Chains A and B, each alone.
Chain A
Amino acid sequence: MPNSDQIALAAPVLSKDRATAPAGFSDAAFARRRWLRSLWERPAYLLLVLSSLLAILTTIGIVLSLLFESLRFFEQVPLTEFLFGLEWSPQTALRADQVGSSGSFGAVPLFTGTLLISLISLVTAGPIGLFSAVYLAEYAGKKTRDAVKPLLEILAGVPTVIYGFFAALIVSPMLRDAGGFMGVGISSESALAAGLVMGVMIIPIISSLSDDVIASVPNALREASYSLGATQSETIRQIVLPAALPGIVSAMLLAASRAVGETMIVVMAAGLAANLTANPFAAVTTVTVQIVGLLTGDQEFDSPKTLAAFALGLVLFIVTLCLNITAMRVSKKYHEKYD
C-alpha cells in the first residue's frame, strides 16, 4: 500500500484548484518536510562550525598549557636567568630545596646548540636543495623530472627516527673515524653529524618549494633574456633567481623552522650535556633534546625539571611561529607581484 507521499508524487503536479491539489504538494506537506529537515540540519550545521573552531581551540590549548606551566616554572626560576643564563644542568638543581638558585637553568647553551645544528643543516640543504630545484625546473627533461621528483618526495616522507638511526649509527662513527684519520678530534655525538643528517631531511622542503617558485616565474622574462643573447645560466642567475628570491627565502625560513623543531635526529645523534660552543666537531645539546630528557623518566609533574620542559617548549613554539609567519608574509609578497 503506497504511502501518502508516494501517492502525492504520482499525482499530476499542475492542479489549479487548491482544494483538489494532491496532498504531497500542499503547503502543509512542504512545511512538515522542511521542519523535519531543519530539526537535524541546525545541530548538524553547529557541528560543522564546532569542528572548524577546533583548530583555534587547539592553538589556544597549546598556548595556554605552555604558558600556564611556564609561568609556574618562572615562579621558581627567574625569566632572566632562564633566557640569559649560561649554565644548564637541571639535575643538580633538584637536590633539596636549592631550586634554581644554583643557576642551572640557564638555557643559552641550548639555544646556541640548536642554532649550531640548524645552521649546519641549512648550509647543507640550501645549496643542494636550490641547485637541484634549478636543475629540475630549468634543465631536466620531462622524463627526468617525473622520475626524480617522486624520489625526492620520499626523502620527505621518511620518519625522523630513521634519520636518527642513520645519524647515530652510520654518520657519527664515520665522521669520528675520519676525524681520527686526519688527526682532528670529532666527538661521537658531534653537531656536524646531526646537522648533516638533518640537512638531508630538509632538502626536499627547500627543493620542492623552490622548484614551484622557479617554475612560476613568468616565461616572458626568460624569453626576453634569451632574445638578448643570454645563455641559460645567465638567465637563471640574473633574471629567474632574483625574481624567485622571495619564494626561495620563504622556503629557507620554513626549512629553518622545521630544523629548529626537529627532535628525533638530535635525540639519537646529539649530546645531552649542555655545551656553549661554535665548534661543529663538539657535542652540543638542543632545546628539543632537553625537553625529551626532562620529561622521559619518572618525575612528578610539578618538579621544576618538568616545568622547565614547558618553558623550553614555549620558546620553541614562539620561535617557530615567528619563522612560519615571516615565511608566509614573504611568500605572499612574491605572489602579489606575479599573480
Chain B
Amino acid sequence: MTDGTEIPKAVAAAALLHRRYRAETRFRWYGILATALALFFLGAMLISIVIIGHSAFRQTFVKLDIFFDPQILAADGKTDTDSLRRADYPALVRASLREMFPGVSGRRELRQLYDLVSRGASDSLREQVVTNPALIGSRASLWLLSSDDVDLFVKGEISRNTPESERQLTDLQLDWAEQIVAQGAAELRFNTAFFTTGDSREPETAGIWGAVVGSFYTLIVTIMLSFPIGVMAAVYLQEFAPKNRITEMIEVNINNLAAVPSIVFGLLGLAVFLNFFQMPRSAPLVGGVVLALMTLPTIIIAARAAMLAVPPSIREAALAVGASPMQTAFHHVVPLAIPGMLTGAIIGMARALGETAPLLMIGMVAFIVDIPESVFDAATVLPVQIFLWADSPERAFVAKMAAGIMVLLAFLIAMNLIAVILRRRFEQKW
C-alpha cells in the first residue's frame, strides 16, 4: 500500500481523526452540561425556597405597656368569663400606643398608629385576662405581636427609597417603627404560632396547623381505603387470576389509571361523591376517597412487585403441607411481601400528600380557620394552603407560603427516608 499518495492521505486521515475526537469531547460535554443543568434547577428551587421562607419562622413582637383598665374590662363590676370575653381589648392596645407616642393626634394619624400592632395582640390579651382575672387593674410590660408590615420592616424588607404610595408603611409609620426599634422595644422571636394555629386573614397570625391536621385526616382515610383494597387486588391478580381477557383488561386499566391526570380524579370526586352521594364538601373524607382512587394503582403495582419477589419455592412448600391457595397466599406469601408493600404504600402516601388539583375540585379551596376535628369537618390540606397563600395579595404571605413549602418538604423527606430505611432493613436476598 505504499504509493505517492500516501502522505496526503495520511494528513487527511489525521485531520478526520482529530475532528472525530473533537466531536467526541463535545458530545461528552453536552451530557455533563445537561446533567448539571438538571441538578442546578433542583438546587435553585430548594435554595430559593429556603431564602424566601426562612424569615417566616420568626415573627416580630413589640413591647407595650398595657394597663388592664378596669373601666374598659369590667365597668359594671362583672368579672365572669362571658363578660370578660366580650370586653374591648383593642382599646387597651390603642391606649398603650397612645402612651408610647403622645404627640399623635387626628383620626388618620391615629389609625396609622393603631395599625402598627396586629389584631392578634388583643386576642392574646383576652386569653390572659380570661385565664387570670386578677390582672384587672394592674400594669404590665408585655411583648405583643406586631402587624405584618412592621414585621416586614424589622426584617429589612421595606426601604424609604420606595415611593410612599408603593410602600406598605407610610412615612409616619416608618418613623414610629424606627423609634420602636431604637428603643429596643421590637424583637424577632421564633414563630411557634405558625405551627400551632390555623389560617387567618392576617399574615402575622396565619399558621399551618390547620392544614397539617387536615392533611393528616385525609391521608388516614386514603391509606385505610387504598392499602387493604390495593393489597387484596394485588393478591388476586398475582396469585389467583387466570390468564384471560378480563384479567388483561384489569391490568390495562390499572396501568392507564396510573397515568390519568390528577384533575380528572377531582372531577370524578365532584360528580360522583359530592353531587351524587351528597358527601360533605371540603371534608377529608371525600378528599381521602379521591386520593385513595388515585393511589390505588401505585399500591397495586408495588404490592405485585413485592409478591413477585417471593420465590415460588415458598408457595410450593406451603401447598405441599396441605395449605389451601388462600392460606398459602395470606399466611405465607403476603407476610413475606409486607415490607415491599409498606414501602410502596409510604411512597404512595408521600405522593398523595403533595396533591393539590383534585382537592381543589372537591372544594378544599375555602378559607378555613378552625382546626378540623374529624374526617367530616371542612378542612384544607398542606399543598392547598400553600396555594391559597400564593394567591393572597399581602407580601408577608409570600414568606409564609415558602415556610409552608418547607414544612411540606420536611414531611415528604421524612416519609421517603422511612421508606428507604424500611426497604434496606427488610430487604431479603433470596
Which residues of A are at the interface with B, using a C-beta cutoff of 8 A?
Answer: 37, 41, 44-45, 47-49, 51-56, 58-59, 61-62, 65-66, 68-69, 127-132, 134-136, 138-140, 148, 151-152, 154-155, 157-166, 168-170, 200, 203, 207, 231-234, 236-237, 254, 257-258, 260-264, 267-268, 288, 291-292, 295-296, 301, 309-310, 313, 316-317, 320-321, 324-325, 328
Is the CB of B175 closer than 8 A to any CB of chain A? no
- Chain B's closest residue to A47 (CB) is B232
Are the C-beta atoms of B48 and A231 separated by less than 8 Å? no
**Contact present for B42 and A261 (CB under 8 Å):** no
Q: Which 6 interchain pairs have the tightest Cβ spacing?
A: A261-B261, A135-B31, A159-B354, A131-B34, A233-B27, A65-B271
- Bitwise interface map of B from 241 to 257 toward A, beta carbon under 8 Å scored 1, else 0: 10000000110011111
- Flag if B300 contacts A295 (CB, 8 Å): no
Instruction: Find out whether the CB atom of A268 lies under 8 angstroms from the CB atom of B261.
Output: no
Shortest beta-carbon distance from A70 to chain B in Å: 10
Nearest chain B CB to A255 CB, angstrom units: 11
Residues of A near B412 (CB, < 8 A) are 157, 159
Provide a sorted-by-A list of 29 A–B residue pairs whose CB atoms are within 8 angstroms: A45-B240, A51-B230, A51-B233, A54-B296, A55-B296, A58-B293, A58-B296, A59-B256, A62-B264, A66-B267, A69-B271, A131-B33, A140-B35, A155-B38, A159-B412, A165-B402, A200-B41, A232-B27, A233-B23, A258-B259, A260-B261, A263-B360, A268-B390, A313-B263, A316-B264, A320-B260, A321-B260, A324-B256, A325-B256
Per-residue CB contact flags for chain B residues 349-385 toward chain A (1 = under 8 Å, else 0) read 0110111110011000100000000000000000110
Q: Which residues of chain A are within 8 angstroms of B136 by Cβ–Cβ distance?
A: none
Contact of A165 with B401 in the complex, beta carbons under 8 Å:
yes
Q: Which of B198-243 contact A (CB under 8 A)?
A: 228-230, 232-233, 235-237, 240-241
- Contact indicator B259/A320 (Cβ below 8 Å): yes
Contact indicator A134/B31 (Cβ below 8 Å)? yes
Q: Establish whether residues B31 and A139, one from each chain, have CB atoms under 8 Å apart when the complex forms.
A: yes
CB-contact partner of B398 in A162, A169, A321, under 8 A:
A169
Inside 8 A of A69's CB, which chain B residues have their CB?
271
Evaluate contact between B387 and A264: CB separation under 8 angstroms: yes
Is B386 in the interface zone, CB < 8 Å from A? yes
Chain A residues with CB below 8 A from B355, complex form: 159
- Contact (Cβ within 8 A) A52 B236: yes
Seen from chain B, the residues whose Cβ lies within 8 Å of a Cβ on chain A are 20-21, 23-24, 26-28, 30-35, 37-39, 41-42, 45, 48-49, 52, 228-230, 232-233, 235-237, 240-241, 249-250, 253-257, 259-265, 267-268, 270-272, 275, 293, 296-297, 300, 324, 326-327, 350-351, 353-357, 360-361, 365, 383-384, 386-387, 390, 398, 401-402, 405, 408-409, 412, 416
Indicate if the CB atoms of B272 and A159 lie closer than 8 Å. no
Known: A62-B265, A152-B42, A232-B27. 4 other contacts (CB 8 A): A139-B32, A157-B412, A159-B383, A320-B259
Give chain A's interface secondary structure class: helix
**Are B354 and A161 in contact, with the CB atoms below 8 A?**
yes
Most buried by B among A44, A260, A292: A292
What separation, in Å, do the CA atoms of A138 and B34 have in the docked complex?
14
**Chain A residue with the shortest CB-CB distance to B268:** A62
User: For chain B, what secondary structure do more than half of its interface residues adopt (helix, strand, loop), or is it mixed?
Assistant: helix
Among residues of B, the one whose C-beta sits closest to the C-beta of A295 is B361
Query: Contacts of A128 on B, CB cut-off 8 Å?
Result: 34, 37-38
A68 and B353 alpha carbons, distance in the complex (Å):
30
Find out whether the CB atom of B350 lies under 8 angstroms from the CB atom of A157: yes
Question: B31 near A234 (CB under 8 angstroms)?
Answer: no
**Contact residues in B for A309 (Cβ distance below 8 Å):** 267
Which residues of B have CB within 8 Å of A236?
27
Cβ-defined partner of B272 (8 Å) among A61, A157, A325: A61
Give CA–CA (A324, B255) in the complex, Å. Answer: 9
